[in-house]
Structure 1
Amino acid sequence: MASSILLPLLLSSSLLLALTNAATFTVTNQCSYTVWAAAVPGGGMQLNSGQQWTLDVAAGTTSARIWGRTGCSFDSNGNGKCDTGDCGKLACTGYGSPPNTLAEFSLNQPNNLDYYDISLVDGFNIPMNFVPASGCSTNAAHCSADVNANCPSELKTTGGCLNPCQVYKTDEYCCTDPNSTCTATTLSEYFKNLCPQAYSYPKDDPTSLFTCPSGANYNVVFCP
């Protein structure tokens, strides 16, 4: 009898904890142009200059990302394409194509921490800030520089700047071999010098990965 009463109580407590540690992400377009925001999980939305999109993300979500797309055109069914960050539809169900500046996160990880970062490993298309809105006052990831302005010629593409991994596809740039001693390169340093708090290559953890206590909420700002 006692166990049958205890089980619903445990389930209720677990549900309450999950709801408590869910996170709200407010995505704001401060660019002078339209950005088609995308999120996995979450879908996508057209954001004209000054508009916002709010996402509630479940506790325990991992390998999630938010990004902005440019130069998009969609039909009445929400199918279409974008110059950068394309996923083939307005409401993305899969990751976008490079180049795209990424806000990446995993919620409620060990030690009750959220992990989050800005990554340029898929290249750069839009300046971005990724900052706690509440529940965490000290950490923030910034990449507000115009990386496209002086993008190295071999990395230039329509609407953005590719990471060297997409261009050369070698372990030197992509760090695909788990036993490699992959380090920064001259090309990855171009990104790092402009956005020192963002990932410039896959093993760029020490200066690029941030944490907050689980239960924090976040702001993602395009063109901060």
Structure 2
Amino acid sequence: MSCVSSSVFTIRNNCPYDIAPGTLTSSGASITTGFELAPQASSTVDVPTPWSGRVWARFQCSNDGGRFSSQSGDCGSGQVECNGAGAAPLATLAEFTLANASGTDFYDVSLVDGLNLPISIVPQGGCPVTDCPVDINAQCPSELAVQDGSGGTIGYRSACVVFNRPEYCCTGDYSTPETCPPTDYSRFLKDLCPRAYSYAYGDALIRGRITVIVIA
């Protein structure tokens, strides 16, 4: 006889507009891969453990001609469900490695591949919150900004994505923590969101038990 333990994510949309959360499973049983949330709405997702993966938000979405797409955070599936596809590198990521009931969970907010919306991970049991609660779109460097058709900023690309240089991507001769220090761009992110990863070697994972992912 066997049994399966699970965690429950409550994903809440604190934005004043609709979003479409997406998920990607790296290991463990698959979970729902995408759905829509109205402003101030929330939804729960059962996550069988052990599990690892990520959650992000898509916004400025449309369903023109029966094909679902988003200007920010799109996964390219053409549907609300991402079906195993990850976010284009322009999304704030909530990343998780969940253990069985007797183990410890690890979680972080990552800006390494870019960001689009503020995200907070709020755990239970007094474990630390990790987040990027600031709307960086209003103040990001112009060379990294992505704009929609009306000229509004809808995301911030990472310096690695934009410039594709080893010192920004922590590759090649810069592939260790000792040889890949923070750059001006990662420091900018870290100053605004000190509890989030700002580049590949930015921070250690946080331990705890997850309850709520807030997209605001």
TM-score (structure 2 length as normaliser): 0.85
Counterpart of 2:50 in structure 1 is: 60
| Whole-Å separation in 1 of the counterparts to 2:12 and 2:141 | 29
Which residue of 146, 152, 176 corresponds with 1:157? 146
**Contact map agreement 2:57 2:92 (CA 8 A) in 1:** yes
Counterpart of 2:191 in structure 1 is: 193
| Whole-Å separation in 2 of the counterparts to 1:36 and 1:167 | 25
Counterpart of 2:16 in structure 1 is: 32
TM-score (structure 1 length as normaliser): 0.82
| Whole-Å separation in 2 of the counterparts to 1:137 and 1:204 | 24
For the pair 1:69 / 2:58, whether they are aligned, the reply is yes
Counterpart of 1:221 in structure 2 is: 214
Please state how far the C-alpha of 1:175 moved relative to its aligned partner: 1.2
Higher-Rg structure is 1
| Whole-Å separation in 2 of the counterparts to 1:39 and 1:147 | 22
Following TM superposition, the consecutive aligned residue runs of length 4 or more in structure 1 with deviations greater than 3 angstroms are: 177-180
Please state how far the C-alpha of 1:165 moved relative to its aligned partner: 1.0
**Contact map agreement 2:121 2:210 (CA 8 A) in 1:** no
For the pair 1:105 / 2:99, whether they are aligned, the reply is no
Please state how far the C-alpha of 1:75 moved relative to its aligned partner: 5.3
Aligned Cα root-mean-square deviation (Å): 1.8
**Contact map agreement 1:103 1:118 (CA 8 A) in 2:** yes
Please state how far the C-alpha of 1:52 moved relative to its aligned partner: 1.0
Q: 1:221 is matched by which residue type in structure 2? A: V
Please state how far the C-alpha of 1:80 moved relative to its aligned partner: 2.5
| Whole-Å separation in 2 of the counterparts to 1:105 and 1:142 | 13
| Whole-Å separation in 2 of the counterparts to 1:76 and 1:56 | 32
State the identity as a percent. 37
Q: For 1:34-68, what per-residue CA distance to the aligned partner results, in whole angstroms no more than 9, with x for missing partners?
A: 11111124211111101112111111112x00100
Counterpart of 2:7 in structure 1 is: 23
| Whole-Å separation in 1 of the counterparts to 2:210 and 2:194 | 23
Counterpart of 1:7 in structure 2 is: none
Which residue of 115, 118, 128 corresponds with 1:139? 128
Q: For 1:151-172, what per-residue CA distance to the aligned partner results, in whole angstroms no more than 9, with x for missing partners?
A: 1011010211111111011221
Please state how far the C-alpha of 1:138 moved relative to its aligned partner: 2.3
